[in-house]
Structure 1
Amino acid sequence: MKNSLIVALDFANKQEVHQFLEPFGNEQLFVKVGMELFYQEGPSIVYELKEKNHQVFLDLKLHDIPNTVGSAMRGLAKLGVDLVNVHAAGGKDMMMAALEGLEVGTPAGFVRPKCIAVTQLTSTSEEQMNREQLINVSLEQSVLHYASLANSAGLDGVVCSSHEASIIREQVGADFLTVTPGIRLASDEVQDQKRVATPEFARGAGVSAIVVGRSITRAEDSVQSYHQYKQAWEGVLK
């Protein structure tokens, strides 16, 4: 999944999803199904996307006691998704339980979904983290700590901002996945994200995959916007 552009399907229902995907024809995308969509439509939306050969990142950010997360992952593994996630703040035991659940739940002959951990949300500033989470280190230190914890638990990578990706690569390893939301073109609005970056910056930082939502899904021409982001991400000269 390295060098992937993941489109966040932040829609309220499957009708909106199909309306968005229709202009893409048979083009196969890597898409993200988050809480808003999954809680409305359930597993059926995942099955429909996989039937069309799209790769799916199921973004539910599980965070609970290890037994609960492990059991949940055992069920999610049966959906055939390509990528899932948990909150690193749940701790090493929880992350290990998530991985074990995925391994047990993945049907024979299928590849286990990659599992990554959320470090600090890209909508969180360092000041917010210090004040509201009572984490009295720098944002970079917090993210790196969570990344190291996820790596020690055996996870495949983390969700972080592009600004922390390079130091994670240096200290955890180049094979450890860094999936980064908060991606905007220089001409885009920042919206509710705080730690944003352009596709070009993310590529230069060695990011594994970028996640783009409203800038594509709410664009006047979503297909054109998608390919504009893809070209910027892949370094294709216009």
Structure 2
Amino acid sequence: MTATSDMKEHLIVGLDVPTVAEAERVVRDLEGVASFYKIGYQLVFAGGLEFARDLAASGNKVFLDMKLLDIDNTVAKGVENIVRMGVSMLTLHAYPKAMRAAVEAARGSDLCLLGVTVLTSMDEQDVIEAGYELDPHTLVLRRAEQALQAGMGGIVCSAQETEAVRRIVGPSMAVVTPGIRLAGGERGDQKRVVTPRDAMRNGSSHLVVARPIVGAVDRRAAAQAILDDMRSA
């Protein structure tokens, strides 16, 4: 992961924009610098699913951030249809039954299923308020172990937990890290943030970066700064 072309495979740009037209502008702005994009709720409900298909068909990689959670059959049927879209990654909440259903539904495909552990916008008080007795770090590690046991392709967690997570899941599983900010950058609503360099050093395989790139005046320069910081690890 020393060349820029290789590092692009590990940077996922979050297309957290209100319209497909704006997402298309972001992709055009980043042509040659980025090739992996996250599509989440905001864009999905504005025509983003068709855009995801088109983006994947054009040779880009797509991380569909749906955070699925439902009864086993519903999760399985959803995953079966998502497999046909040609996207590379899909998130679901890291509940054991849901993960097992998703793994079975995706079996034989190239879709990488990611278990979302604890959102990076949540701190210990938020986790307590949600009814969990475990602190965020302990909860992340438990869910990482459950994702491994379920046969998931990877997990999503803060880079603050990545080093400990790697000791559980080993070198093969993807560890995808949101909440990435350059040193001195605006945190926004993220509470557990880490720099790109530290995230890669801690064992993250992919970094998800949205506002620091999409909201920048010069998106290419912002993406390149993230890539440079990743390479410095």
1:218 matched to 2:210? The reply is no
Q: How big is each residue's C-alpha offset from its partner over 1:135-169, in whole Å with a ceiling of 9 and x where there is no partner?
A: 22221110000111111111011100001011011
The residue type paired with residue 21 of structure 1 is: V
The residue type paired with residue 70 of structure 1 is: A
Gaps of 5+ in 2: 1-5
Q: How big is each residue's C-alpha offset from its partner over 1:22-47, in whole Å with a ceiling of 9 and x where there is no partner?
A: 23345551100111111210431012
Residues in 1 aligned to 2:34 and 2:56: alpha-carbon distance in whole angstroms: 10
Residues in 2 aligned to 1:84 and 1:191: alpha-carbon distance in whole angstroms: 24
Provide the residue aligned with 1:232 in structure 2. 229
Provide the residue aligned with 1:142 in structure 2. 139
How many residues in Structure 1 have an aligned counterpart in Structure 2?
227
1:20 matched to 2:26? The reply is yes
Tell me if structure 1 keeps the 8 A contact 2:11–2:34.
Answer: no
> How has the CA–CA distance of structure 1 residues 173 and 191 changed in structure 2, closer, same or farther, with 3 Å as cutoff?
same
Alignment of 1:92-111 (within 5 A): 92-103=96-107, 111=109
Alignment of 1:191-210 (within 5 A): 191-210=188-207
Provide the residue aligned with 1:157 in structure 2. 154
Q: How big is each residue's C-alpha offset from its partner over 1:40-60, in whole Å with a ceiling of 9 and x where there is no partner?
A: 104310122123311100000
Provide the residue aligned with 1:114 in structure 2. 112
Residues in 2 aligned to 1:145 and 1:24: alpha-carbon distance in whole angstroms: 37
Question: Matched residue of 1:60: which SS?
Answer: strand
Residues in 2 aligned to 1:23 and 1:209: alpha-carbon distance in whole angstroms: 21
> How has the CA–CA distance of structure 1 residues 42 and 201 changed in structure 2, closer, same or farther, with 3 Å as cutoff?
closer
Question: Matched residue of 1:79: which SS?
Answer: coil
The residue type paired with residue 99 of structure 1 is: V
Gaps of 5+ in 1: none
Provide the residue aligned with 1:34 in structure 2. 40
Question: Matched residue of 2:11: which SS?
Answer: strand
Question: Matched residue of 2:113: which SS?
Answer: strand
Deviates more, 1:49-58 or 1:141-150: 49-58
Provide the residue aligned with 1:50 in structure 2. 56
Tell me if structure 2 keeps the 8 A contact 1:95–1:153.
Answer: yes
Question: Matched residue of 1:61: which SS?
Answer: strand
The residue type paired with residue 60 of structure 1 is: M
Provide the residue aligned with 1:124 in structure 2. 122
Tell me if structure 2 keeps the 8 A contact 1:179–1:210.
Answer: yes
Residues in 2 aligned to 1:26 and 1:191: alpha-carbon distance in whole angstroms: 28
Question: Matched residue of 2:84: which SS?
Answer: helix
Deviates more, 1:118-127 or 1:26-35: 26-35
Tell me if structure 2 keeps the 8 A contact 1:28–1:52.
Answer: no
Q: How high is the TM-score relative to the length of structure 2?
A: 0.92
